[in-house]
């Protein structure tokens, strides 16, 4: 699949105001754009941001876009990432401002037009490439610790979104399918303040916490160490 062509087609569809509500409500398009925001090709990221800017022109789309898992996180990551090109930062800021402060945002110029019926099937496969990893975080006790862990997770390319279960000291992270749990654990532990283990569940519903030793390779070569087993419904 040519990712750039796919996102260009979607951007062109989003340029037509008649298509914008349909695209945002499609089950695959908006999640796919979120994944594209973390693509290694700057042209893909920029085109995805252009599509999001068009979609955010519709006021009724904005609440759905703000609630889309990972969208604002990915946009803010582009804004804050030092390596991001100026054009990417600028486009990301425009999307962010339009979603958060719509009254002061400008409208984009018109782009090419295409039929309204073609948006349904473009991005479904991209959405399926995401997965969820649950982390048990030692030291996740308050708002300050939560913010510190957020900062560490935002350094990992491939993180789409995350939510916290503070009473259980857990973080549920949605990532690209190629991201390994040890990468997330090391990112959290790099602060020197927290400990992180992956929560996995057996076929019998038993939970096991898996620790990743320091220096273990990212591509296998060292088995995870089981730490604790318990029964629970996550």
> Mind listing the pLDDT tens digit for each residue in 40-97?
899 999 999 999 999 999 999 999 999 888 899 899 989 988 777 889 999 999 999 9
User: Is this structure's pTM higher than 0.85?
Assistant: no
Which is higher by pLDDT, 113 or 98? 98
Helix (H) or strand (E) holding 12: helix 3-14
Give the pLDDT of residue 213: 63
Q: How many CB atoms lie within 10 A of CB 112?
A: 10
Give the pLDDT of residue 129: 65
**Range with lowest mean pLDDT among 35-39, 124-128, 132-136:** 124-128
Q: What is the mean pLDDT of residues 166-185?
A: 90
Burial 37-58 (b: 16+ CB within 10 A, else e): bbbeeeebbbbbbbbbbbbbbb
**Would you give the distance in Å from CA 110 to the centre of its chain?**
28
**Range with lowest mean pLDDT among 33-42, 101-110, 120-129:** 120-129
Give the pLDDT of residue 214: 57
Question: Angle at the Cα of 129 (from 59 to 138), degrees rounded to 5?
Answer: 90
pLDDT at 186 over 80: yes
| Cα–Cα distance, 121 to 130 (Å, whole number) | 17
Which is higher by pLDDT, 114 or 214? 214
């Amino acid at each position: 699949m040519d990712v750039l062509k796919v996102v260009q087609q979607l951007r062109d569809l989003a340029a037509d105001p008649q298509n914008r509500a349909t695209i945002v409500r499609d089950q695959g398009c908006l999640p796919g754009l979120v994944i594209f925001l973390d693509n290694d090709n700057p042209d893909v990221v920029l085109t995805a941001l252009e599509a999001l800017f068009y979609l955010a022109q519709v006021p009724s789309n904005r609440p759905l876009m703000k609630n889309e898992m990972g969208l604002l996180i990915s946009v803010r990551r582009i804004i804050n990432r030092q390596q991001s090109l100026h054009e990417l930062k600028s486009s990301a800021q425009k999307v962010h401002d339009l979603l958060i402060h719509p009254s002061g945002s400008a409208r984009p110029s018109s782009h090419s037009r295409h039929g309204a019926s073609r948006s349904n099937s473009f991005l479904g496969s991209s959405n399926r490439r995401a997965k969820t990893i649950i982390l048990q975080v030692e030291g996740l006790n308050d708002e300050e610790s939560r913010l510190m862990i957020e900062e560490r997770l935002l350094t990992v390319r491939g993180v789409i979104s995350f939510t916290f279960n503070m009473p259980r000291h857990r973080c549920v992270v949605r990532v690209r399918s190629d991201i390994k749990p040890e990468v997330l654990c090391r990112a959290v532990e790099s602060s020197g303040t927290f400990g992180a283990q992956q929560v996995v569940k057996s076929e019998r519903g038993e939970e096991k916490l898996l620790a990743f030793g320091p220096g273990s390779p990212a591509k296998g070569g060292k088995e995870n160490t089981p730490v604790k087993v318990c029964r629970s419904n996550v």
